[in-house]
Structures are given as C-alpha cells and as structure tokens.
Structure 1
C-alpha cells in the first residue's frame, strides 16, 4: 500500500487530532437507534447453534463472559468514545495512546476482521433465504449448494454496499429496521415459542447436565473463548458517535440497553435450539432455521417457519449494512492522516468514501470464493469464522 509522502514527511495531518473527517449531521442517530445498531452488530442468531451443542453450560459462560468481558469492554469503549468525540473511532483511540502507526495497525486488524467475517454471515443469509421455500428437504439441499450460496452472498453484500453509497442515514435506516425486524423480533419470537413449547410438555431434547462446567475438560475452554468473542463488536459503532446529539450521555445508555438485550437473547435463544434439536443433529448453518420450523410445526403452523426465514434474511441484510461502513470510516481516518494514498481520502456528496468501500467489496468477493474451494459450505463457514476470531482477539488486546 502507498503512503502520502508529502503529509507523512511534513508532519501535517499525521495525528488524529488534525485529521479532518467529514461526518454526517449531528443528531441523526438517537440513543435508541444507536442501541439497535450495537445490538445488530453483536447479537447474531447465526451463532446460537454452535453453542447449543453444549446445552445449559453455555448459559453459565454467557453470563460469565458478560460480567468479565462484555461489561468492562463496553465501559472502556463508552469512555473512549465519549472522551474523543471526533470521528475516527478505534484509530483515534489507539493513536492517542500509542501513536498513529499503532492506530493504523489496530484499524487494519478491525477492517480485516470484518472483511473475513462478511462471507460467514453472507453464507448464513443465503441459508436463510433457502428456507423461505418448502418442503424442508429442498431447503436443505439448496442451502448446501455452493453456487447458490455464492450468488446470494454477492447480491446481499453489494446490495448493502450500494445502499450505503446513498449516505449514512440510508445505511443506518436499513440497519435499524433490519436489526429490529430481522434480529430482535425473531429472537423474541424464538424465546416465546421455546417457553410455550416447554410449558406444553412437548419432547425436550436438551441433555441432562450440570449448569457449572467441568473446567478440567478442554472443550469447556474452547466454549468459553468462543462465547467471549461472540460479544465482540462494541467498538465498531463508536465511529458514529459524532452523529449523536449528546454522545457523552446517550452512548453509555445505548450500551447498557444493548448489553441487556444481547445477553438475554443469546442465553435463552441457545437454550431453545437445544430443547428442540438433538445435539448430534445440530448443523451450524441450518439448525436455527430447522428449530423455527419444528417449533411452529408443533403448534400446527409450519408455514410460519418460512416467514421467519424471510425475517432472518432481512436481519442479515441489516447486519451487513451496519458493518459495511463502520470500519471504512476508520480506514478513511487513517487515509486522511496521510498513511494511505490521496485517492482513499475523498468522499462523495453523501460523505461516504466509495473507493474504500469498493476495495472492501472486492476483497469480500474474493474471500467468498472459498465456498467453492472447500468441501462444504459449512466447512467454509467454520474456517472463516475462526480466522476472523483470531484477528479480532489481537485487536481487542490493543484496545
């Protein structure tokens, strides 16, 4: 990558304090909208099946990780975001502490995490779209088809990207509605259906095991690590803090509201999947959709499972929209500090850097081709998820 030698050598615009970042109008994001953006960035129904394999022990780790990681990490992000209210987010925070080169390193790690993560959520979106149809046997075959998954992944990602070109307001609107109707409401429905299912005395597939895990078992450590990183992403929406009317007051409120919803959603949603699907039958990509089908079918309303799949797919679109622009704003802060070429410093009339978004899209599209190379869609999903997790953990340590 190139460096703007003029700015870098003269010292002008090499510090985040001097970087002139164009932002959207102040007050365009309310406390409630920010809370939904955070929830959308972190809470993901697609991750529930992997933890449902561990039954009630996963609940212990959800609570434990929330207390020792999510809450303190959120407070750190809230303090940093409300102290440094100019745009730049993660890049600005780290630069203040360790200098702009370390800020660039942290921003690059976050950008790469999201870029590698995108194909995984796009695969889940394709599986969700497949379950809009019926019968379920056809859905399973379609969701496992590599070409279908790749085409839908491209459509979802570039659709969200082109919508983002219209401006932050348009992207946030899609994120907000996607988070509400595609993540929050489906989570509530899943939990309510699970409670009714359990109270009706229907067959419970959840294994009988202790709430407290066996800490001598290596698998419990793996579970703990994965749940800690389920809570990652609190720092992403901080790049938009300058778009809030009173960030020092409203951003911390949005964080606490989001934490409550995230922990409850993850814990109870995981239990419901474990209740209706035997552990050995849990598929990482399709188990959530199968769970909805089984729950609705148990009440004689099987067709509603297909409706839920449509809502979840819309939620994926909202989640992609929420994350397409976040890291790109931070990368633009790096560019405008003189550490990237001038071509990556300009913005369009809506304040968006299209060049960075095009580069991100090209990399995401290239990485999505891993679906073709690996044996199955599920294996591609698992490998990309683990790679994104490792990179993200390094970035968290810097914060």
Structure 2
C-alpha cells in the first residue's frame, strides 16, 4: 500500500530527457554556432562536441547526482563530500563569480530586445553613443538589483513563462522553416551544396578560438542531477535519458543550422559578424515572418519573450547564485561576516552591493567600445570564456569521487562505468577540453577585448582567494 505512491512518482527516462532538453538547449546556441563556424560547417563540430564531451559530461553528472542524492547544493555539495569545505567554498565561489559577466550581458540583451520589440530594428539603438547605451544598461541593472533586494517572487514565474515560450518558439522555428519552401516556393531561399566541404570546418585560428562557444552551449546538465534517483531503474534508464537528450540536441542543432542556411549566406555573415552575433535570432524570426506573409509578427513575439526572459533571468542571476554562495555551510568559515548581512526581505544586501561593484564596473568599462553591436558581441564571447569554468568543478568532483569509490558506492547508485581507468580518463578529458576551450577563447586581435578577456577571470579568481584571507584576519584580530 505504501509503495504505490512512490512508484507512481518515478519518472520515465523520456520525461527526464525532455526536461533536460528544455534546460540545456536554446535557439541562441544554434544561431551562435552558425555564425561563429561558417554556417553548415558547424555541423561536424556539433556532432564531435556531443559525442566527445556532452554525453560523457552528462553521464558523470548522473553518477554524482545518484551518489549524493540527498545533497541539494549541487556541485558545491559534491566537492564538500569528496574534498572538504575549503574546496567546496572555491567551487561555490566559481559558480557565483562566472555570473558576474552573465549578469552584465542580460541588461544589454534586454535593451536590445526592447529596441527590436518597439522599432522592429536596432538602427536607432546602434547609432547612439556607447556612453548612453551603457548608462541605460547601468540604470536597468541597478533597478533590477533593487528588485532583487526586495525579494520579488513574481520574477521567477515570469522567467518560467518566458523560458517555456522561447523553447516552444525555437522548435516551431525549425518546423516552420522546413515547411516554408512548400508554402512559399518563391521566397528567395538560400541554397547550399550537400557535399563534404559544406560540413567540414576550416581548422584555423578562428575555429579553435571559438570552441568555447560550443562548450558553453552544451553545459548546464548538472542542473538535472537531483532527478537521477527519481527515475525508474536509474542504472538502466539514466544513460537512456542522456542519450535521448544528446539525440534531441544534436537533431535540433543540425536541423536548426540547415534552416538558418536556407536564410543566410555565411559569407555575408562573416562580413558583418558583430551585427549577426547581436541580432541573429531577431533577423531569423523576421525572415520567417516574411516567408509566411505576416511581416514582423514572429520577430515581435520573439523579441518581447526575450525581453521578459532577459530581465527576469537578470534578477534570478543576481539573487540565486548569491544565495547559494552566502547561504552555504562554508560561507561563515571563509567569507567576511559583513557580506553575510541579510535585510528584512531576506536578501544578502551587501552581497548585492558586491555584484553592483563588479558587474556595474564591467558595464561601465564597455562604454569604451565603438558601438552597441561590438559590446553585445564581446559579451557573448566573454560569457563563453568565463561561464564554462564552473563545469571544471564537475570533473574535479567526479575524479575525487572515483578515487574514493569504495567509501561512497552503494547498490542503488548509478555508475557511468565500473572501469576505474576509463572513469579517470573521462574526468581528465572533460577537464582538459573545458580549460583548453576557455584559454583558447581568450585570444582576440582587439587589444581592449584581449585585456578584458584576461583581466575578468583573473580579478574574479583573486577576489575568491582574498575573501578567506580577510575572514582569517578578522578572526585573528577579534581573538587578539
């Protein structure tokens, strides 16, 4: 009698695969891949990154989630269990620190979306001085920092609605684009050759320094780790779910790329790279509307969904990672007491001020860029360099787990492989691919962008080292 409710709560592997797909994947990933890797030539790279990185990464996350099924802190909890609280603090700090750049990009992306949603283009927005665009971005950022400090719960609901609608539109885009030639045979579609040269990339400097874009795109599977043990027969069904996820993502990436190739000439994209990086999704939905004879309707819907998504994600990205860092067990041992101050709304107010200083400083620095398109392109690349650094701790946690496998192993836990050598190799390989892509992505021919790409992770890393030192000094001073 007592077992039936538990059984009914167990989820099918297809449910988990679909849930993970909506968490991990987005239309922006398809567009960025198409832009950075010369159109259909990205298909080879997508397949490679799925087979050699994404699938083993997801399976490692599954094993960690299965072993530490009672842990709710994600990567930090895994590190705490396998390596101790100090390393858990550094993992938590990394997860928070990478959001500094991400937060900066949300305000910029939201304002760009508003320009598309109001004017149907960004001609006016891109023509004004970057001093004014960044001042507006800073004002938006400060407003949403205030919203985060008030603990407004409705933002999470808006984010869920916007995220779901964006996901649906991404799928509809692919379906409708493939149907477009039959509905409008005179739509002036681009043609491309179906030979090997159209799909095999040019392995040059641009290729290797853009790999971080792909690694960033397929990351985030650690968010599904709490659901591993909610599956029926996890040891058999979790690999099925991850392979199903990989197939769905791969199909979406390949079909989405081909759909974009029917719209855009890669040579034209390369000639106006920053314009396409900044506006690619809007331009794609705009063209789709033209093919269906509805003008800019699809673009306007996408634009306003994106505005809601960008701004709500901005608030959540200010609040949630900060709570994970400052609300952790390690915070009181490694973080100065003043940063742990909570206001009457339950928000870490001094932590929010730290976000304002770091993300606000980055927003102000970008006023030195020539135009708004350059700022957006720079943020996309900087995000791809910094955000994957949090994945490094997944591989570190996995290697640490396998070193102590006898201590943590139990009969109910899912294992990617029982072979220790293969497990270590997978962990080291994932770490090497991630750090390699991040380091290669730093390269830029523009001195300012190169300096920012180097300085941003270095400053965040040093700050993470300094806080425990300040905490130790304060404790020593209090005792003495």
TM-score class, shorter:
0.7 to 0.9
Any stretches of 5+ residues in structure 1 without a counterpart? 1-26
CA distance in 1, matches of 2:319, 2:242: 20
Aligned-pair distance for 1:293?
A: 1.2
Could you tell me how far 1:266 is from its partner in structure 2?
3.9
Q: How does 1:354-369 map to 2 (within 5 A)?
A: 354-369=349-364
1:120 aligns with 2:105: yes
TM (norm. structure 1) is: 0.74
Structure-2 residue corresponding to 1:378: 373
1:160 CA displacement = 7.7
Larger radius of gyration, structure 1 or 2? Answer: 2
Alignment of 1:34-45 (within 5 A): 42-45=24-27
Shift of 1:170: 4.4
Other structure's SS at 1:86 match: coil
2:216 aligns with 229
Q: Counterpart of 1:277?
A: 264
Relative to structure 1, the CA distance from residue 297 to residue 68 in structure 2 (aligned partners, 3 Å threshold; closer, same or farther) is same
2:356 matches 1:339: no
Q: CA offset at residue 330 of structure 1?
A: 2.9
The alpha-carbon deviation at position 225 of structure 1 amounts to 4.1
Corresponding position: 1:140 with 2:133: no
| Per-residue Cα deviation, 1:340-383 (whole angstroms, up to 9, x for no partner) | 12334455677654443443244222212233111122322333
Deviations 1:37-91 (A, max 9, x none): 8666643434443322322222232233223222222232233234333333222
How far apart, in 2, do the equivalents of 1:157 and 1:280 lie? 39
2:72 to 87, 98, 120: 87
| Higher helix residue share | 2
Q: 1:371 to 1:270 in 2, by over 3 A?
A: farther
- Partners of 2:243 and 2:339 in 1: CA distance: 35
Q: CA deviation at 1:289?
A: 0.7
Aligned ranges 1:237-386 → 2 under 5 Å: 241=226, 248-249=229-230, 262-282=249-269, 283-304=276-297, 305-321=299-315, 323-332=317-326, 333=328, 335-345=330-340, 353-386=348-381
2:85 aligned residue: 100
Partner of 1:12: none
**Pairwise CA RMSD:** 3.8
Select the structure with the greater relative contact order (CA < 8 A; seq sep ≥ 6): 1
Kept after mapping to 1: 8 A contact 2:98/2:386: yes
Structure 1 residues 368 and 38, CA gap change in structure 2 (3 angstroms): farther
Residue 195 of structure 1 is matched in structure 2 by: 178
8 Å CA contact 1:292, 1:308 repeated in 2: yes
